[in-house]
Structure 1
Amino acid sequence: MGKKCIFHIPYELDLMGESAPMVRPRKMMKAFENLGYEVSIVDGYAVERKIKIKNIIEEISSGVRYEFLYSESSTEPTLLTEPHHYPIHPFFEFSFFKFLKKHGIKIGLFYRDIYWKFDSYKEALPAWKSFCAIQCYKYDIWQYRRLLNKLYIPHRKVYTYLKSYSLENILDVLPPGCDSAVWKNDRNEKRERQRGILNIFYVGGLGEQYQLKELAAAVSEVESCRLTLCCRKDEWEKEKNNYEKYLRGNIDIVHRSGKELEDFYSRADICSLMFKPDIYREMAIPYKSFEYLSHGKPVLVTRGTAIGDFVEKNDTGWVLDYNRDAIKKQLRELVDFPELISKKRENCLKVREQNTWEVRAKKVEKDLS
């Protein structure tokens, strides 16, 4: 019998979903499978999870060996992940964790989000709702401290907001990974850059937490640059008044996802994560940053951000102040000296090999063995 592990998420996994809470668990599950694990999945709404948990408990009680449980949290408290958001199943999830601990099976959990620690979370909800939700988040943390062997976070700065909960003995960093399948048949490996034109690609959100105006302003003033901005159509409709003045012929707005993005990646020289900085950016690692890296694309990133730290450490792009003059200066330099892009790309190709999803899964395996 081969190795077995348990993969747990307290919500229904959409196998076609393109958001990070859907993509990341799928990538980690596949990585465990690639390491030779038979993965038993606990997901779905509470009734479904209860059935799956009951089956696993029966297996363990009859002598089946599981090496570890790896879990990823929801952006919501565990108790509130039902569609109606009422905590009608408050105990079974952590009772299962307690059962595993009693049977010597170690548990690691990736803690996705601490948005609830910010005032903006309270301001976005009625007072009674935010109060109840925050108590449920705190309940999660209390259970994590009791039951987990490892609590994974996206970036070390997240711990700044968790210090009061005495978690330092179990905390560790587990950022997103690169998808090695992307470069096995990479159409970009021998691509020649279009002479005299710098093609920039951005794919992701657009809005309050994804402000790209300084990038758009800079590109609009550099004729030899072309920016393709890919976002959801509804987000563009809400934000287009903030960007239309920059649409001077060298900025294209598209709405694509999944495999449709490959053509844009194949044409791109570099990618962008030039967001307006805020306190959340200091600790958030965008999932798309490792998708860019998977495609071997150097990136423009904002100074003072978590992803900026990664890019600076690994020399996979350019870390800039968030203002149009600094961005414009860098763009013109890259147009004039395209060999600078080639050097960064070489680093990307090395660094992505060191940061695959399989590397992330191996770390979990080692931590929980």
Structure 2
Amino acid sequence: MSTNKRMIFHLPDFIDFNNPISGSQVRPLKLINAFKEIGYNVDVVCGYGNERKQKIKKVKQKIKNGVIYDFVYSESSTTPTLLTEKCHLPIFPFLDFSFLFFCKRNKLKIALFYRDIYWNFDFFKKNIYFIKYLYLRFFYLLDLRIYNRIVDVLFLPSLRMKDFIPYKFDITIDELPPGVDKIEDKHLIKNKNLNKLQLIYVGDISELYRIDLLMKSISCDYKLNVCCRKVDWDKNFDYYRTFLNSNIRILHYSGEMLKEIYLTNDIACLFIEPSLYRSFSVPVKFFEYLSFELPVIGVKGNTIADFIDKYNVGWTINYSENELNDLLLYLKCNPDAIKEKVDNIKRIMHKITWHQRALRVKNLLLN
């Protein structure tokens, strides 16, 4: 698309454009493409410090030469802005924030997506040395104070997260969850064996994301595909080994191989042990499930459950083995109940694309 409209996409960290392996890598790439879809030339400022320094220099020169940008969209890293080098030392202490201040002085509206607040929870504090915790916390809080001075709109994964941020902002706060992709040929490969439901879980399986109750519920009437990183499985194998049976497959797929697995499943699962931290989280994988028209089983009392219930795209139950067993039995005997949820997903798909997320950023900043 030929266009004269320009925007700046800023991320103070390295992105592997060829092989994004986590939600924090996938999300920026999806949004960069979405901003292009809505008609923008996107100048991307990302990478490690030296690379960002060169890109910032070029963008600043363009602005000085009269090039007009509509706005800046930035995303935080999962580490503090000043510590995103491999050594986690503030080698480029003024690079990113001085650039954003420069943009603000040049009348550019700035939105920033604040990715996570895990550092404000006890599990983070318990897993590192106290002096390191104080060191990191200082820089996390510094980020928040500076955001309040330079950002026009602060986006969060969900508005529930706002209550856990240890800072009172004077700026607009809104939510910007992930989006869905347009997947072609979803209908070509679907599970034909209605007597054996195919379920899938993709993601972390560590202490914060336990799926043992899900595994316990898998009998001869169901198949469960668990897709996770091999390093995570090796680390957690001893915990899960007693729950394994012949109807549970452990996979380490990504890319096209993962897509093929999605296409053979009936239902996706986010049936994870509840925690306060996950009550506000919005995993990219949830919207990836919806992209493949997979209804989702979730646990009541969190942002994902609210979405499932609002749009009727799955089922929410308490974190109970009995309730899960009852639900799976019901779905096995009532395949039309699954089809109903799939139809609901199809109806809302156009409202929750990455394209729509990019439009939301633009409209909030420019209107």
Q: What TM-score comes out, normalization by structure 2 length?
A: 0.96
Aligned residue number for residue 196 of structure 1 = 195
Q: Distance in 2 between matches of 1:188 and 1:247?
A: 30
Measure the CA separation in 2 of the matches of 1:195 and 1:126.
51
Give the alignment of 1:290-329 within 5 angstroms: 290-329=287-326
> 2: CA distance between counterparts of 1:92 and 1:267?
47
Shift of 1:188: 2.6
Measure how far apart 1:293 and its partner are: 0.5
Q: 1: distance between equivalents of 2:365 and 2:87?
A: 34
Q: Distance in 1 between matches of 2:74 and 2:171?
A: 18
Distance 2:40 2:288 in 1: 24
1:123-162 correspondence runs (5 A): 123-162=126-165
Give the match for residue 348 of structure 2. Answer: 351
CA deviation profile, 1:92-139 (whole Å, cap 9, x unmatched): 211111111111100001101101111221212111111011110111
Q: Cα–Cα, structure 1 residues 4 and 274, in superposed 2: closer, same or farther, change >3 Å?
A: same
Distance in 2 (CA, whole Å) between partners of 1:173 and 1:84 is: 32
Answer yes or no: is the 8 Å Cα contact 2:14–2:46 preserved in 1: yes
AA paired with 1:175?
P
Decide whether the 8 Å contact of 1:7 with 1:29 is kept in 2. yes
Give the fraction of aligned pairs with identical amino acids, expressed as a percent: 39
1:96 alignment counterpart: 99
Counterpart residue number, 1:178: 180
SS in 1 for 2:180: coil
Question: What amino acid is the match of 2:23?
Answer: A
CA separation in 2, counterparts of 1:92 and 1:246? 49
- Distance in 2, matches of 1:278 and 1:82, equals 31
* Cα distance, 1:323 vs structure 2: 1.7
Say if 2:81 and 2:143, in contact at 8 Å, map to a contact too: yes
Does residue 24 in structure 1 map to residue 24 in structure 2? no
Q: Give me the CA root mean square deviation.
A: 1.4
1:246 equivalent to 2:243? Answer: yes
Q: In the TM superposition, what whole-angstrom CA distance separates every residue of 1:21-60 from its partner, at most 9, and x where no partner exists? A: 1110000000001111100010111121111111111111
1:368 and 2:365 are equivalent in the alignment: yes
* 1:265 and 1:295 in contact (8 A); partners too: yes
Deviations 1:152-178 (A, max 9, x none): 00011110022x522263211000000
- Where does residue 274 of structure 2 map in the other structure? 277
Name 1:211's counterpart in structure 2. Answer: 210
Does the residue aligned with 1:158 lie in a helix, a strand or coil?
helix
- Partner-residue secondary structure (3-state), 2:250: strand
- The one-letter code of the counterpart of 1:121 is F
Distance 1:306 1:104 in 2: 35
Corresponding residue of 2:44: 41
1:65 aligned partner: 68
2:158 is aligned with what amino acid?
H
Q: Secondary structure at the match of 1:90?
A: coil
Are 1:122 and 2:128 counterparts?
Answer: no
Q: Matched residues in 1 for 2:335 and 2:244: separation?
A: 25
For the 8 Å contact 1:18–1:258, the answer to whether it is kept is no
Whether contact under 8 Å (2:10, 2:72) holds in the other structure is yes
Amino acid paired to 2:269? S
User: How many Å apart are 1:245 and its aligned residue?
Assistant: 2.6
Is 2:104–2:110's contact at 8 Å kept on the other side of the alignment?
yes
In 1, are the aligned partners of 2:82 and 2:139 still within 8 Å (CA)? yes
Partners of 2:167 and 2:251 lie apart in 1 by 44
Gap change, CA 1:155 and 1:189, over 3 Å in 2: farther
Contact 1:193 1:269 (C-alpha < 8 Å) held by counterparts: no
Residue 191 of structure 2 contacts residue 198 of structure 2 at CA under 8 Å; is this kept in 1? no
- How many residues align? The count is 363
Q: More deviation in 118-127 or 100-109?
A: 118-127
2:154 counterpart SS class = strand
| CA-CA distance at 1:193 after TM superposition | 3.6
Q: Distance in 2 between matches of 1:298 and 1:144?
A: 37
Helix, strand or coil: the match of 1:301?
strand
- Deviation, 1:186, is 2.2
Query: How far, CA to CA, are the matches of 2:319 and 2:198 in structure 1?
Result: 20
User: Does the Cα contact within 8 Å between 1:24 and 1:176 map onto a contact in 2?
Assistant: yes
Q: Which residue of 1 aligns with 2:222?
A: 225
Query: What is aligned with 1:107?
Result: 110
How far apart, CA to CA, are the structure 2 residues paired with 1:278 and 1:166? Answer: 24
Residue 192 of structure 1 and its aligned partner are, at CA, apart by 6.1
Residues in 1 aligned to 2:188 and 2:163: alpha-carbon distance in whole angstroms: 40
